[in-house]
């Protein structure tokens, strides 16, 4: 059994812009903060963290994802702000993604698929974001993040299924399968 999640992975140009945002934060606003930065190759928008799945459930997931991605076009995303998640006291530094109708619709479809496989639907509101880092110091000063000079707009071209593994204090993500639009 593996721990599975479904995500939207940024295209190269968007990923490069996220890397630049992190470099800017590291050199200015957050230069004296103790942060565990997200690996530059691991940026993603989590649609659903499922957890452990049996192999037959994974196959059923793949079949259903194939159906919904073949019937869709690329997804537009826009980043307007950087903040802490889930609130201003959170430890997770994120790039907030505008919750467009396209994103809400794909998230809803993913929830339907997960439900048909036998997993519970998420009752929390969908708040799309990309994790940039995690503060190690829980007793840090209050931080206010300036708005981006201009929104970052991009397209997402696929839905990805990942396996996450936690080993020696580190989480690694292994791409299991990609479903292109």
**pLDDT for 131 beyond 90:** yes
Q: If you average pLDDT over every residue of the chain, what do you get?
A: 92
Whether the pLDDT of residue 170 is over 80: the answer is no
Does residue 2 surpass a pLDDT of 70?
no
Q: What is the Cα–Cα distance from 74 to 11, expressed in whole angstroms?
A: 11
Whole-structure pTM value: 0.92
Q: In sequence order, which residues have a C-beta less than 8 Å from that of residue 91 and are 6 or more positions away?
A: 84, 134, 135, 138
Quote the strand ranges of the chain, DSSP E: 2-8, 35-37, 45-53, 75-85, 92-97, 129-135, 152-156, 158-167, 170-180
The least confident of 38-47, 126-135, 136-145 is 136-145
144: pLDDT strictly greater than 80? yes
Torsion sign, CA atoms 119, 124, 65, 112: positive
Per-residue model confidence (pLDDT) at position 104: 94
Say what percent of the chain tops pLDDT 90: 75
- Kindly give the residue spans of alpha helices, DSSP state H, lying in the chain: 12-27, 55-70, 101-117
21 has a pLDDT exceeding 70 = yes
- What is residue 36's DSSP assignment? E
Average pLDDT over residues 60-71: 91
> Is 80 exceeded by the pLDDT of residue 164?
yes
pLDDT digits (tens, 9 = 90+) for 42-57: 999 999 999 999 999 9
Average pLDDT over residues 89-98: 95
**pLDDT value for 171:** 80
For domain 2-180, is the CATH number 3.90.1140.10? yes
Sorting pLDDT into bands at 50, 70 and 90, what band is 121? confident
């Amino acid at each position: 059994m593996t721990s599975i999640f479904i995500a939207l992975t940024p295209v190269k140009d968007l990923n490069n812009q996220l890397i630049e945002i992190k470099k800017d934060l590291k050199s200015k606003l957050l230069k004296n903060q103790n942060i565990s930065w997200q690996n530059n190759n691991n940026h993603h928008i989590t649609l659903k963290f499922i957890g452990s799945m049996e192999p037959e459930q994974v196959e059923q997931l793949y079949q259903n994802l194939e159906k919904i991605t073949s019937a869709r076009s690329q997804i537009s995303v826009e980043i307007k702000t950087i903040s802490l998640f889930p609130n201003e006291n959170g430890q997770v530094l994120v790039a907030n993604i505008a919750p467009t109708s396209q994103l809400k619709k794909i998230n809803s479809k993913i929830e339907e698929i997960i439900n048909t496989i036998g997993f519970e639907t998420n009752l929390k509101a969908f708040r799309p974001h990309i994790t940039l880092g995690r503060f190690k110091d829980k007793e840090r000063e209050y931080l206010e993040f300036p708005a981006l000079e201009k929104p970052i707009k991009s397209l997402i071209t696929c839905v990805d299924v990942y396996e996450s593994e936690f080993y020696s204090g580190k989480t690694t993500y292994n791409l299991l399968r990609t479903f292109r639009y």
